[in-house]
Structure 1
């Protein structure tokens, strides 16, 4: 393991603990000596990491330190490339443009070796002939989710019956061939999934729904027994 990789792993270990973790435990997990650990902590502090604590008491990383992109590993860079390419091919125009801009920013600061990985990654995303997820509705839905505002939709179910629903959208599921809006349905008084390609029309209201988006999402995770990642 290179020193830069070790420093990155040390930061990740510290980020995973809200309370002080002993130097002995950190050194054991990194398979290094305490002397090397203390030197690495001083290096991170010199780079701007707010690491509080001292030998015998433990260490904790305070919020606010941004990891330089140049410390990404080669595989992490390729994972970012693959994700950005998927978004560019499968998401709406705004997200596609954001993915391209993000990769340009990373390319401007990484080392030449990692820049080569960015430009020449062999991990490709195939084209898709399903463009339902590129409909203008997706942008409106994302805007409603961000603002935590109610949506009024004309929705056609699997049997072809159309109903008007007022929903509290709190997530969008990105599948290969379909996009699902997850929201609280006032008609059903429960959480429901709505296929974007079955929404005939929608209106973003300026009415805030009464519960926070994250609360609705957390309740949905628990209801579906889906582990958080």
Structure 2
């Protein structure tokens, strides 16, 4: 295997394997010696890849300059075009604009042949109507998730009873038919799902739950998985 191809494979391994990944694990993945892994990591660092870590502790790719988008394969381009097409059909204007922006940015880095493949991909999404309709503006909730700020909502349940809740928004979950906020409910002191089509009002508070979002979300997802296994 040529060194250039091996370096590309090493970059991909650093991307997909859980970080930090040890040199032994990389050598096993690449089917090369430890010495080769150490040399290749040095070569990638010289080429501009920011790889943190050292021998005995493991490595983590933090800034990826060594493998630009023009190395995308044909099927990766198809997946990208299909995924961005689906996002445009969700019905969220903010995400639709972001998808169009991503498409333009990626296309600008591709060589002419790959650019044409991206814009004329054989995989298409056809949805005459948006997949979701939104009664409220999702942008403040998304911002609250990013910033790990509690949100006060007025929520109408399936019995049409309205209550005011303060929640920690952990994730926006796009299911088959509904957009749901996976949350920690301060009133119930437990995890709850809130459908966005039942939210009547949203107010971002000054209450921060940083840095708990990831750990709370992992707990919630584990709880949901356990529930599905029991069922």
Tell me the TM-score normalized by structure 1. Answer: 0.78
Aligned to 2:197: 197
Aligned to 2:222: 222
Aligned to 1:21: 23
Aligned to 1:68: 68
For residues 54-111 of structure 1, the C-alpha deviation after alignment (integer angstroms, 9 at most, x for no partner) is xxx9x95653333311111111111111111111110521221111111111101112
Q: CA 1:105 to 1:52, structure 2 compared with 1: closer, same or farther past 3 Å?
A: closer
The answer for unaligned runs of 5 or more in structure 1 is none
Q: Distance in 2 between matches of 1:52 and 1:192?
A: 38
Q: CA 1:75 to 1:35, structure 2 compared with 1: closer, same or farther past 3 Å?
A: farther
Aligned to 2:142: 142
1:179 to partner: Cα distance: 0.2
Pick which of 102-111 and 157-166 moved more.
157-166
Aligned to 1:164: 164
1:190 to partner: Cα distance: 0.6
For residues 155-213 of structure 1, the C-alpha deviation after alignment (integer angstroms, 9 at most, x for no partner) is 11122222222211111101232100111112221110011111122222222237621
Map 1:66-145; keep pairs closer than 5 Å.
66=65, 67-127=67-127, 129=129, 132-145=132-145
Q: Distance in 1 between matches of 2:94 and 2:71?
A: 28
Q: Distance in 1 between matches of 2:91 and 2:182?
A: 17
**Residue pair 2:52, 2:62 contacting (<8 A) in 1 also:** no
Tell me the TM-score normalized by structure 2. Answer: 0.77
For residues 34-58 of structure 1, the C-alpha deviation after alignment (integer angstroms, 9 at most, x for no partner) is 99989976764553235799xxx9x
SS of equivalent to 2:63? coil
Q: CA 1:122 to 1:3, structure 2 compared with 1: closer, same or farther past 3 Å?
A: farther
| Count, aligned residues | 223
The answer for unaligned runs of 5 or more in structure 2 is 227-231
Q: CA 1:47 to 1:211, structure 2 compared with 1: closer, same or farther past 3 Å?
A: closer
